[in-house]
Structure 1
């Protein structure tokens, strides 16, 4: 049975906050400020973090970047941001339906509780406005998170600030100036423009519940449809009341024919149901419903509703067809392969641990959507293949100095020959028996062990290993017993790029300057490993070597990957 990786090193740089450690004599006030800063930084517990960042090291790097650029702003993938999105999702729903229904019930003489609900939501809206000036945002075009205070403030002022401020003050308009209730109603209808905010907050809920993109899209469509129908129902319900303030309603108006005239004692909820029936008939139909429309201004309003409904339903139909086709093509193939895999494991009587690990590999490799990558790439031109490879390897190219020391044309040829490898937790990636490969960590974390089971250190995104063995194998570097004794074990699910010895020999050796830098760096890393092993030997002097040698066997598998 496989045992988990039990780390013997300090993982403060990964598990704890990126904030500097405080002195034991630090005051409670400074400790409190530090705890507040922790909840403002990016968190692994925010579901949006897992969707954007693939490893814990990348999360830690993002936290360090956030602290470097600003110490007062809130990261959009922090814990506080997650709780704010959940609260605001509930707030937007309550405000949307309460404020609009309050407009239909206001004409009644009896008191209703809608205004009190709106007053109860005012503190939440006020806090939301203040926090929005300090909460970062994800820039889709630049593919990065903006946390600079000035950029955040400008983005909010140019975005939803005027809308949020209008919603915050609109309950006071009708309370202080009752004659201006019509304008208060118009301000209430501005909540319609917050539908994208509702969809964004809804994404957090679907990620927390671990639902797929298809479920999120369907949930967003249902939510948007209900809000649109409700919005138009309230609009045509309040329009006759607004119109009677300027001229008398004609007897040919559809509200007169429906028996719900304005300024009457008819129940407001009954008026709303009649308007809801009318909107559903025209928005989803379209048809005129039970009552025909004859007045010119009403005809214009219903033409807008019909056109909006037609375009929206066309969009929904296209989106649903696209989702169904993608699910059938890739999702069903993936499920079919998993079914075959399950049947194969059952026939071969494989242990549950192996079956789970194989399924975990398929889930990580294909993201529950099966596709033939080699077949797809083979249909593309060589230039497009290179662009895709460069995009997928962009983080490695930015963080690994080995590529930065080579010419762009050489890097392009090397990238085209790199192979992708996914390893599961506790798998042995490399030992002294596999000296012909250099590994680049795209995402994940790898632990380095000695033959005695000593854990030297962890390496993460952007790091690489195996170059010392390749250089020694090519007689470019003196062979080291220390390097031969090292083994590399995956701590988490890790994605690697593999460079063969032949690729290194063909492309890198022809550039003496870059090769000289690689050899010098390899010598330095070899000396650092020797120093770490020497310190460990001093600490464990007198301890039985048999006890230490069992550690690697307990923590990693005995299988070595064959890349040929």
Structure 2
């Protein structure tokens, strides 16, 4: 009789499994390593959870894959986290979430959050209150995060770089004039209310209330705004001071600040306009144009949404949002330089293979020159079990999962690992396992025919390598047989 059991959904148990699940891979490994923060700070208490939260802030974050060439895979990020927690547990990693916040947002948040109207909480003198009101100008720094978020919105809606920069120029011009007018009006109606001895505009004007609003229609908000706009225009173009000459130190300081600030702003706008003109020939703009053509092509072919997303992910990983013609670049450099570039990129990958170690340099160069680079997306099948194999693979960046013929996930391979070497050395052999990409992976392929051609001048080395491969073949067969018996034993426990 078959025992009925309730089906269970494989839910991620650890943070590592959840990370893979978020990127489309359902990890079923039972002996997968625990989270780095749990290993560093074990326990389930609230204090342990708080400490782990701060640990995650100071170690390298997963988003670093998108802005650095050094940590482009989960394996590299995991090794960097463990290295930091082992040797530098009290430092903040430059690619961490905490470091990114401290460098870009912390000081800005502190300045814009400073209180202004202290008289609500404390009894302060008019001079101190006048100084505190100057802190309100720090809130104009919120334009900085606006620039960052506007870039994210432009990327999300695929706004062209030319249109985006043109809109920014118009917006910054309007917002600069508005900020300066508000600053002049703010100083006039608030700060000078507490400093009557330093008149900024007309020294014979009527005394204004704290709010700057009186019964006189002349002092309505829009009237004061346009008066400030007129005064700001005169200062910006160095045309004059208005109706009255400067009559206090504060007014002189303000006029010089407006002069220099306006000049710097004009230089900034000119720089942005130059960037718009030169941006049409930049690699980033060319990539945007290429991506636009790609989207039009996919729309013309009526490709489904998931396929469009995969194609765009492939291009983003391949080009890193910078356009270049690799074939033309390689065609213009010498053969010696190409060999040196290949050796720099692939030598460690090849030497990680046991039977490729201590090879003559000439043979190593010939093998490396035969490598072909490929990019695999999440859940792409690299090798399928029970199919003929004629290639070996080296993982440059990324993570792949190994499955037995029965479909059981055995392990993960990461940066620097290799697989498929048995099919490379033994003819007419079938794959004994399937290999699937867990994340976007850059992998080098070495075909059997190219390898045999490169190693033919060294028959003794070829015989030795084939002997090692046969031994590994026997070990792999024994492991697969053990897994089949284990699966059969587990199935037998449900029969009774």
TM-score category (smaller protein): 0.5 to 0.7
Q: Distance in 1 between matches of 2:471 and 2:109?
A: 58
Does the CA-based 8 Å contact 1:450-1:487 persist in structure 2? yes
Aligned alpha-carbon RMSD (Å): 5.8
Does the CA-based 8 Å contact 2:287-2:323 persist in structure 1? yes
Does the CA-based 8 Å contact 1:425-1:493 persist in structure 2? yes
How far 1:312 moved relative to its partner?
0.9
Question: Which residue of structure 2 aligns with residue 338 of structure 1?
Answer: 295
The answer on 1:206 being equivalent to 2:160 is no
The answer on 1:448 being equivalent to 2:394 is no
Question: Which residue of structure 2 aligns with residue 64 of structure 1?
Answer: 82
The answer on 1:40 being equivalent to 2:36 is no
Q: Distance in 1 between matches of 2:146 and 2:77?
A: 21
The equivalences for 1:80-95 within 5 A come to 88=106, 91=109, 94-95=112-113
Question: Which residue of structure 2 aligns with residue 541 of structure 1?
Answer: 488
Residue 420 of structure 1 aligns to a residue in which SS?
strand
The answer on 1:497 being equivalent to 2:444 is yes
Does the CA-based 8 Å contact 1:237-1:275 persist in structure 2? no
Q: Distance in 1 between matches of 2:211 and 2:174?
A: 26
Does the CA-based 8 Å contact 1:400-1:462 persist in structure 2? no
Query: Which residue among 39, 44, 62 is the counterpart of 1:20?
Result: 39
Q: Name the CA shift for 1:68/1:317 in 2 (closer, same or farther; >3 Å).
A: same
Q: Distance in 2 between matches of 1:541 and 1:91?
A: 61
Q: Name the CA shift for 1:520/1:21 in 2 (closer, same or farther; >3 Å).
A: farther
Question: Which residue of structure 1 aligns with residue 242 of structure 2?
Answer: 291
Q: Distance in 1 between matches of 2:426 and 2:436?
A: 21
Q: Name the CA shift for 1:356/1:234 in 2 (closer, same or farther; >3 Å).
A: closer
Residue 445 of structure 2 aligns to a residue in which SS?
strand
The equivalences for 1:497-516 within 5 A come to 497-501=444-448, 504-505=451-452
Q: Name the CA shift for 1:8/1:189 in 2 (closer, same or farther; >3 Å).
A: closer
Q: Name the CA shift for 1:21/1:39 in 2 (closer, same or farther; >3 Å).
A: closer
Q: Distance in 1 between matches of 2:231 and 2:255?
A: 13
Does the CA-based 8 Å contact 2:350-2:368 persist in structure 1? no
Q: Distance in 1 between matches of 2:97 and 2:398?
A: 22
How far 1:457 moved relative to its partner?
1.8
Residue 407 of structure 2 aligns to a residue in which SS?
coil
Does the CA-based 8 Å contact 2:378-2:439 persist in structure 1? yes
Q: Distance in 1 between matches of 2:255 and 2:47?
A: 65
Question: Which residue of structure 1 aligns with residue 5 of structure 2?
Answer: none
Q: Distance in 2 between matches of 1:459 and 1:374?
A: 30
How far 1:421 moved relative to its partner?
0.9
The answer on 1:430 being equivalent to 2:383 is yes
Q: Distance in 1 between matches of 2:37 and 2:469?
A: 29
Q: Name the CA shift for 1:195/1:93 in 2 (closer, same or farther; >3 Å).
A: same
Query: Which residue among 261, 266, 269 is the counterpart of 1:313?
Result: 269
Q: Name the CA shift for 1:36/1:91 in 2 (closer, same or farther; >3 Å).
A: closer
Q: Distance in 2 between matches of 1:522 and 1:466?
A: 10
Residue 439 of structure 1 aligns to a residue in which SS?
strand
Query: Which residue among 467, 470, 479 is the counterpart of 2:421?
Result: 467
Q: Distance in 2 between matches of 1:520 and 1:274?
A: 91
Does the CA-based 8 Å contact 1:18-1:64 persist in structure 2? no
Does the CA-based 8 Å contact 2:37-2:52 persist in structure 1? no
How far 1:298 moved relative to its partner?
6.9
Please report the TM-score for the alignment, with normalisation by the length of structure 1.
Answer: 0.57
Q: Distance in 1 between matches of 2:118 and 2:319?
A: 51
1:472-524 CA distance string (max 9 Å, x none): 35xxxxx9x7x742332223332212234455456678799998997798678
Residue 488 of structure 1 aligns to a residue in which SS?
strand
How far 1:539 moved relative to its partner?
0.8
Question: Which residue of structure 2 aligns with residue 9 of structure 1?
Answer: 29
The equivalences for 1:322-471 within 5 A come to 322-323=278-279, 326=282, 329-344=286-301, 346=302, 357=310, 361-362=314-315, 364-366=317-319, 372-380=325-333, 393=345, 397=348, 401-402=352-353, 417-431=370-384, 435-471=389-425
Please report the TM-score for the alignment, with normalisation by the length of structure 2.
Answer: 0.63
Greater C-alpha radius of gyration: 2
Q: Distance in 2 between matches of 1:307 and 1:406?
A: 65
Segments of 5+ residues of structure 1 without an aligned counterpart are: 103-113, 120-171, 474-478, 545-564
Task: Using the TM superposition, name which of 181-190 and 323-332 deviates more.
Answer: 181-190
1:194-225 CA distance string (max 9 Å, x none): 789x5599469939995779599889876799
Aligned residue pairs total 443
Q: Name the CA shift for 1:524/1:365 in 2 (closer, same or farther; >3 Å).
A: same
Residue 20 of structure 1 aligns to a residue in which SS?
helix
How far 1:308 moved relative to its partner?
0.8
Q: Distance in 1 between matches of 2:146 and 2:461?
A: 47
